[in-house]
Structure 1
Amino acid sequence: MARRIGIFGGTFDPVHIGHLRGALEIAEEFQFDELRLIPSARPPHRDTPQVSAADRLAMVELAVQGEASLRVDDRELRRDKPSYSIDTLESLRAELDADDQLFLLLGWDAFCGLPTWHRWAELLEHCHLLVLQRPDADSEAPEALRDLLAARSNNDPQAIDGPAGQIVFAWQTPLAVSATQIRQLLASGRSARFLVPDAVLAYIHTHGLYRAPN
């Protein structure tokens, strides 16, 4: 029987409750067999992460302990080049059964920026795109994506069939949490409790992460 697998990439610098709650909601709504959190090593469209790949991986692993639907996949950290999504998808596809469904989770802003991604037009050959929209995401998609949306959008998440090729949207209630906010709190000596899991916060303090430079 075909599996449903979601993939959710990010720097996770650090992983926080916004990442985790959103991932869990999507895993339940779309009845994923698993949702993989994939920390990126050198994201092409983002600033270099503040802490090491090993620390970010350890924090994500701590964060998902005990949650059966969430897994951690470190393949991008083992790759000695920028974290291009197309490379990750090709690598995953080589390991999956041909009829397994693969969903790449993207925020609305990231989706609108797809035309700037490496080999972006090939993404739908390997996966479905699951675009996470928030109530305040009222901007229109760029012209380069409008024909694609018209041809590939599916309004019924449960009706998606086949291993790849469709675009579906999911609404999410935003949690006003950001990794930038957490780093700033920690650098100023303030508490980030309840913004990250306790195990992650303990790791941050034990390893002296995100402190302001002396």
Structure 2
Amino acid sequence: MRRVGILGGTFDPPHLAHLMIAEEVRLSLELEEIWFVPSQEPPHKTKAVISAQDRVEMVRLAIDGNPYFKLNTIEVDRVGKSYTFDTLNVLKNKYPDISFYFIIGADMVEYLPKWYKIEELIKMVTFVGVKRIGSQLNTPYSIELVDIPYVEISSTEIRNRIRENTSTKYFLPEKVIRYIKEKQLYEKG
């Protein structure tokens, strides 16, 4: 069985902490690949600020150069809310030879009991919780825990910095910074 990690999110925009989390989990759990899965419309958040097309392109640029990172557009190709259960159901049927590891932040670990069809989902995938300072990671479910270096970067902070015309160097990959500038993304709002 191949072992593949899945890192989902709005990636609005994808930043260096996303890449670091993916790489640390890949190395720690000896995964063959990490699939980045941008969501169309996450059930637990408000809608993304920019289009799925731009977010997909930014993820493509962010992971370029890492042969272990792949882009999977299963959720943006679907209309409506993106439930992990639906995504994993399709992936498990399409790739029966892969064991999937679903990477979530500490905030989502504690939210797991509220996830759509969690009792079925927990049987389909291994959840990987990345530890953050201040999170207890209390959950009744079995999850793999991975310690990651503490880097506090948020997409909201990055969008604010862009609107305020403040540097995002060392927050975003250079290719993503160039794309945002070329497309004038996040400048208003």
Q: How would you bin the TM-score normalised by the shorter chain?
A: over 0.9
Deviations 1:183-205 (A, max 9, x none): 00000111111210000000000
Distance in 2 (alpha carbons) for counterparts of 1:137 and 1:24 = 21
**Where do 1:161-176 residues align within 5 Å?**
167-176=143-152
Identity of matched residues, %: 31
Secondary structure at 1:199's aligned position in 2? helix
Residue 9 of structure 2 corresponds to which residue in structure 1? 10
Tell which structure's C-alpha radius of gyration is larger.
1
Residue 20 of structure 2 corresponds to which residue in structure 1? 21
Q: Does 1:136 align with 2:134?
A: yes
Secondary structure at 1:91's aligned position in 2? helix
Amino acid corresponding to residue 165 of structure 2 in structure 1: G
Distance in 1 (alpha carbons) for counterparts of 2:101 and 2:96 = 14
Residue 163 of structure 2 corresponds to which residue in structure 1? 187
Distance in 2 (alpha carbons) for counterparts of 1:96 and 1:34 = 14
- Decide which of 176, 197, 201 is 2:173's aligned counterpart: 197
- Return 5+ residue gaps in structure 2 as ranges: none
CA apart distance, 1:97: 2.7
Kept in 2, the 8 Å contact 1:105–1:130? The answer is yes
Distance in 1 (alpha carbons) for counterparts of 2:168 and 2:116 = 35
**Where do 1:80-91 residues align within 5 Å?**
80-91=79-90
Distance in 2 (alpha carbons) for counterparts of 1:168 and 1:60 = 25
Kept in 2, the 8 Å contact 1:135–1:171? The answer is no
Kept in 1, the 8 Å contact 2:14–2:59? The answer is yes
Residue 46 of structure 1 corresponds to which residue in structure 2? 45
CA apart distance, 1:135: 3.7
TM score, norm. by length of structure 2 = 0.95
- Return 5+ residue gaps in structure 1 as ranges: 154-166
Amino acid corresponding to residue 176 of structure 2 in structure 1: V
RMSD: 1.3
